[in-house]
Structure 1
Amino acid sequence: MEQIRKHFRLADFAYPTDGMAPSTDNGGLVVAGICKPWPTSSSRTIAAFAYDGGAADEKELLLAVVEGPNNRVIASYKRIIPEDAITEVSSYSLKLDTARYTLSNQTRAFGLRMSTFRDRCGYEGGFDDELTLFVVDGQTIRPVLTEMMSHWSYGRGSRCGGEDVARIDARVSISVEPTTSNGLADLRLTGTRSDKRKPVSVVVKYNGNHYELKPWTAAFNAWWY
């Protein structure tokens, strides 16, 4: 954490005192944090933190790959995580996904899953579990795909009134295809539903900067909504 604090030039970077919210008063500005070994190198670690920079309705995502034995930051990424009436970053919001996302002989991606949905009994449905796939590009960690992996909708009835309302869930999965586009493997996105409707599946291709999701989004929306 000290190396990451120095890398991002932060004055304060610590977890809050037990039972207290992040604030400068209790020395805690880290809302969520997680670390995981790089899947093919025990000397490297992926670290992700949600940081409260003091701005309203947002947190900062700090992502780094560090290398031992001195935990030197060799690549990093930073962006804003917006918050609103239905999204909020909490201590359990971040999860690192190091499945075998092998995109080329030289490139293995890793995923960061983010759960921020704040459910309310009046909602008719929602989506969560945002997965972003990242690749290390020199000293930069670069996102190449972002998609919601969990969707759900409720049938008629009032959950606020305590009724047992029917719910349909959809889960999205990603698999690596043997074909390639612009140097990286194509990816297949597949959606499955709890009501046993036939799955939807689309192959998306890398355009040199990111994976083009328009074909998937169109097919998924027609299938889900």
Structure 2
Amino acid sequence: MDRSHRLPTWISVFVLACASLSQPAWAKDAQPCSGELLHSLGRQLGQEGWNVPGESEGRVIAAACKRWPDDPAQTVVAVAYLDSTDDAPPGERSPRLLLSKVEGVSGMLRERYETRLEEDAATEVDSGSLWLDTARYHLAPGVRAFGVVFRSVARGASCPDGGFDDLLTLVVPDAGQLRPVFSTYLSQWTTVKGTSCVSDSGFEMEVSRLTLGIGPNRSNGYADLIVTSRVRNDFEGGNVLRTVSETVRYDGTRYPFEEFSNFWQRQ
């Protein structure tokens, strides 16, 4: 199945004509990182040339910072940065993704998690690609998760039959580090009739926007997650066709759930 992070051209034009209503509300929320904090993080990681993305050129290509709700003296950060040897063009880079809590005054790194965001035809990072989710994800006594949403700016396939974006990853503290326990795309769409690239084919699509809630029960010590999909026939403003939910239970290591889920699709 040919799926893409991005929208086919004619759908993109339609969405832009509707004042970019496909953008989620969080895309308007500013989560800036100060240059001082980024420079401190870079020094601790042995990196040079760290910058505020969107303001100056450097090794940092995306960053988001937000006060930790349970302790205003701490800040949660998400930073996508390039190694000093990575001089590939956008779309071919291998940026590192750092998720961490830091001391708000000193910028000292506390718990952290690092991975790679390998760019390709479907994945590309820019200055607006990261957003921190600090909702009340109280998964167990004394355990509060936080999330990072990654939005790709890659163009992707020209004529896909479905797509996805806004990859949410939840992490929890674990032995002085952060550990991912859940991941899924919050925005998804699929073709139900016709062809996306042919405007007179009777094309119909269904669009899902996922939200997370905390369930009343626990599995292996962690609260169940309630994943809810509101399915529309347009990216925004269309009719709500149905609302469906699925309970995801912790298996002792993670919440097993597909990044591109299909529980919301027609059977």
| TM-score interval, smaller chain | 0.7 to 0.9
Structure 1: runs of 5 or more not aligned: 23-27
Number of aligned residues:
215
Which amino acid is 2:97 matched to? L
Q: Secondary structure at the match of 1:180?
A: strand
Alignment equivalent of 2:171, drawn from 91, 114, 134: 134
Q: Structure 1 residues 162 and 42 mapped into 2: Cα distance closer, same or farther (>3 Å)?
A: farther
Which amino acid is 2:206 matched to? I
Q: Is the 8 A contact 2:53 2:63 kept in 1?
A: no
Instruction: Give 1 or 2: higher strand fraction.
Output: 1
Q: Is the 8 A contact 2:232 2:242 kept in 1?
A: no
**What is the match of residue 25 of structure 1?**
none
**What is the match of residue 46 of structure 1?**
76
| Root mean square deviation of aligned Cα | 2.8
1: CA distance, partners of 2:54 / 2:146: 31
| Alpha-carbon distance, 1:166 to partner | 4.9
The structure, 1 or 2, with the larger RCO (C-alpha pairs under 8 Å, 6+ apart) is 2
Q: Structure 1 residues 121 and 74 mapped into 2: Cα distance closer, same or farther (>3 Å)?
A: same
**What is the match of residue 255 of structure 2?**
211
Q: Is the 8 A contact 1:32 1:91 kept in 2?
A: yes
Q: Is the 8 A contact 1:88 1:117 kept in 2?
A: yes
Q: Secondary structure at the match of 2:63?
A: strand
| Alpha-carbon distance, 1:130 to partner | 0.3
Q: Structure 1 residues 222 and 144 mapped into 2: Cα distance closer, same or farther (>3 Å)?
A: closer
Q: Percent identity?
A: 34
Q: Structure 1 residues 67 and 92 mapped into 2: Cα distance closer, same or farther (>3 Å)?
A: same
Q: Secondary structure at the match of 2:51?
A: coil
Structure 2: runs of 5 or more not aligned: 1-37, 234-239
| Alpha-carbon distance, 1:73 to partner | 1.1
**What is the match of residue 152 of structure 2?**
116
1:174 paired to 2:193 = no
1:69-112 deviations in Å (ceiling 9; x for gaps): 31211111110001111221111100001111111220111110
**What is the match of residue 100 of structure 1?**
136
| Alpha-carbon distance, 1:137 to partner | 1.9
Q: Is the 8 A contact 2:65 2:76 kept in 1?
A: yes
